Amino acid sequence: MRKYYANHLRIHSRSGRTRPWCISRKKNIYIRQIFLLLCCNLLSHYDFMNKRIDSIDALKGFAIVLVVSGHAIQSSTCSFDENVYFRIIYSFHMPLFMFLSGLVASHSCDVPVWPYLKKKFIALVVPFVSWYAVGYFANGAYHTITLKTYIVRLLLSPDYGLWFLWILFLNYCFLAIAVRMEKRLGIFAYLVIVLLIELAPFRCLGVGILKIHFVYFIAGYLLMKYKEILKRYLIHAQIAAVIIFPVLVSQWHRTKGFSFSSQINNWVESYGYFLHIPQLIVYYGCVLSLAFSGMALSYIFISNIRTAFFYKYLCRLGKYTLDIYVSHLYFLYGIGLGATRIFSSALAAVVVSLMLSLLILRKFRILNLLFLGNRAKTANKINPEMVTASALV
């Protein structure tokens, strides 16, 4: 590409001889040559960015497979909390999506606040509300509760709907505030925002869920922002993840927490520490270590399958995580028993969700806007950066 443009960076003089463009006296020639050089550099930069996006898309594709698989286990097994695969998946799959969202947010948050949040509102909150409205009729809720009660229930606890979309929007809102505060407080601005969220005296409007997931989102943002400094510790983080994750996940339960929580309680009570602060630090540290070590192992897995035939399929799935996430729960129907039922259920959910999106939702502008948060007219005109930046699960 560079050689092609270099061959065109010479012009003909009146005598018929060629001479370098830099000594030409014609301003339009100067402008043309500068423009070609810029295009050459931008194209090479675009190739580099595509490679980066592919790796993130592969991680997103892997994460959406975990999400659908976890829900398939839930719908196919009565005692799903005792299923070892379910416990492994639920120990880090949603933090992974939040982390990836923060990674991508580092490329798009340095813009005016209101246009930025307006774009995120359309991409996230509009589908959140639209699918919740669909659920009122599709799930038969209108038979048992009034529409007013249905709406109030969502305000008090967004996890009745597609909570990830709402929490991700809140993440972007608080990130925008932190970025503006950074000019005065430096990196401590992010710590201040985290503490304000954690110390919030209420849990409605999704704040309770935000307390759990904002730290992963901001960690992804800061990792991308300071990647040149932190990359030297990458190998150490991978080694630690290989050791920490198996130990912690074997002791973790979705509803009961860690099996050694009772020992921590006894230890704290025996020494009578003020407000159980040591207990909170140890427990919260274990939760974060479990989630981050799971993310690190996911990165190791993706890094080692780049040459595998299914890597490109994970990349493609990663570009349609929103499409799969918003509707897959309606299509979790499998055949057979045990593992066969789980696999067939997950496969059906992914395939039918993609068909619904590509054949119907993305074909009509109003449906594309309401249910996917995309203002593009058709699937062919969708901005790939918008799909990636949403990092939707």
Residues 300-348 pLDDT 10s: 999 999 888 889 999 999 999 999 999 999 999 988 888 899 999 999 9
DSSP designation for 319: T
Sort residue 333 into left (φ over 0), alpha (ψ -120 to 50) or beta: beta
Residue 166 contacts residue 373 (beta carbons within 8 Å): no
Cα 269 to Cα 264: distance, rounded to the nearest angstrom = 9
Q: Tokens in use for 258?
A: 């860690």
| CB within 8 Å of 58: residues ≥ 6 apart | 302, 311, 314, 315, 318
At residue 283, the pLDDT reads: 82
User: Residue 80 CB: number of other CB atoms within 10 A?
Assistant: 19
Length of the chain: 393
Structural domains of the chain, count? 1
Residues of the domain holding 137: 92-225
Cα 325 to Cα 235: distance, rounded to the nearest angstrom = 32
Residue 12, classified by CB atoms within 10 Å of its CB into exposed (0-12), middle (13-18) or buried (19+), is exposed
Residue 59 contacts residue 302 (beta carbons within 8 Å): yes
Asked whether residue 143 is assigned to any structural domain, the reply reads yes
Cα 38 to Cα 32: distance, rounded to the nearest angstrom = 10
Q: What is the mean pLDDT of each run of 10 residues along the chain (393 residues)?
A: 42 42 44 40 36 79 95 91 93 94 81 86 95 91 89 90 94 93 90 93 90 95 90 91 95 87 61 58 89 95 89 92 94 89 94 96 94 68 40 39
Asked whether residue 32 is assigned to any structural domain, the reply reads no
Asked whether residue 38 is assigned to any structural domain, the reply reads no
Complete DSSP assignment for 233-253: GHHHHHHHHHHHHHHHHTTEE
Asked whether residue 392 is assigned to any structural domain, the reply reads no
Asked whether residue 334 is assigned to any structural domain, the reply reads no
Asked whether residue 325 is assigned to any structural domain, the reply reads no
Asked whether residue 356 is assigned to any structural domain, the reply reads no
Residue 287 contacts residue 120 (beta carbons within 8 Å): no
Q: Tokens in use for 265?
A: 């309680």
| pTM across the whole model | 0.79
| CB within 8 Å of 317: residues ≥ 6 apart | 57, 60, 61, 64, 65, 324, 350
Asked whether residue 116 is assigned to any structural domain, the reply reads yes
Cα 363 to Cα 12: distance, rounded to the nearest angstrom = 50
- Look at strands 257-258 and 252-253 and give their pairing: antiparallel
